Amino acid sequence: MQPLLTLPHTALSRSEEETEALGAAFAALLAGRGEPLSFVALEGDLGAGKTAFVRGVASVLSPGSRVQSPTFALLREYRGGGTPLYHFDLYRIADEDDLATTGYFDIEEGVILAEWSGRIPGALPPHRYTVRLERTENGENERSITIKETDDDHPRT
Ligand SMILES: Nc1ncnc2c1ncn2[C@@H]1O[C@H](COP(=O)(O)OP(=O)(O)OP(=O)(O)O)[C@@H](O)[C@H]1O
Ligand SMILES: [Mg+2]
């Protein structure tokens, strides 16, 4: 058993596998929270490792799921476990009306993992987790990953 993460959490990843492992540790944190619906914003450039992180989350919450970039689909759902996962890639979304066609606003239970959620600023829930992945200057494969939790309704001063 890995120790539970505490937030905010910052780590260095040196491989896709390490990013997946951090996603798995984060999934354990989410499972412990027991929220009916959690929202996770994944931030970072093309190829930063957002989908890799989601793969790690799914390995815990929806085992057996094949997690790929949903770029051409906007949404992929994984139901390999007790928690439905909704994996959005909003890179190509036109506007927030387009979001409604995916059923986004009807989701009541599970975990939403959204790549490129900056495209839908008006549709973000006030309470959310943000995972930011950034390349470092140290080689092709290193990423700095920060996970935080914010609540617009209860901002910290
Ligand atoms: N430390 C690392 N963590 C994650 N991925 C890494 C790492 N080092 C190298 N990679 C490589 O970077 C790529 C990350 O791809 P991934 O699809 O997860 O990125 P993404 O952020 O989802 O991109 P996009 O915005 O295009 O969806 C993969 O090819 C992976 O092998
Ligand atoms: Mg991706």
CATH at 96 = 3.40.50.300
Q: Which of 59, 69, 144 to mutate to test the pocket of ligand 1 (most atoms within 8 A of CB)?
A: 69
How open is the CA angle 46-11-2, to the nearest 5 degrees?
115
Question: What pLDDT score does 129 carry?
Answer: 98
Q: 31 to each of 7, 43, 59, how far by Cα in Å?
A: 14, 22, 13
In a domain, 132, yes or no: yes
Question: What pLDDT score does 32 carry?
Answer: 95
How open is the CA angle 119-122-128, to the nearest 5 degrees?
85
* H or E element, residue 149: strand 143-151
Question: What pLDDT score does 71 carry?
Answer: 65
Q: How far apart are the first and last CA of the chain?
A: 35
Task: Count CB-CB contacts under 10 A for residue 34.
Answer: 7
- Residue pair 43/135 in contact (Cβ under 8 Å)? The answer is no
Share the mean pLDDT of the chain: 94
Query: How many separate domains does the chain show?
Result: 1
84 C-beta closer than 6 A to ligand 1? no
Instruction: Give CA–CA dist 136/12, Å, rounded.
Output: 9
* Whole-prediction pTM: 0.96
In a domain, 4, yes or no: no
117 C-beta closer than 6 A to ligand 1? no
Query: Distance from the CA of 88 to the center of ligand 1, in angstroms?
Result: 16
In a domain, 20, yes or no: yes
In a domain, 25, yes or no: yes
In a domain, 6, yes or no: no
Question: What pLDDT score does 130 carry?
Answer: 98
Task: Report which ligand 1 atom has the smallest distance to the Cα of 143.
Answer: 1
Q: Which residues of the chain have pLDDT under 70?
A: 1-3, 70-71, 157
* Residue owning tokens 């799921």: 65
CA nearest neighbour of 87 among 105, 75, 73, 99: 75
Question: What pLDDT score does 72 carry?
Answer: 78
In a domain, 5, yes or no: no
Question: What pLDDT score does 95 carry?
Answer: 87
Region for residue 21 given its phi and psi (left: phi exceeds 0; alpha: psi -120 to 50; beta: otherwise):
alpha
Question: What pLDDT score does 25 carry?
Answer: 97
Q: Which domain range does residue 118 map to?
A: 12-151
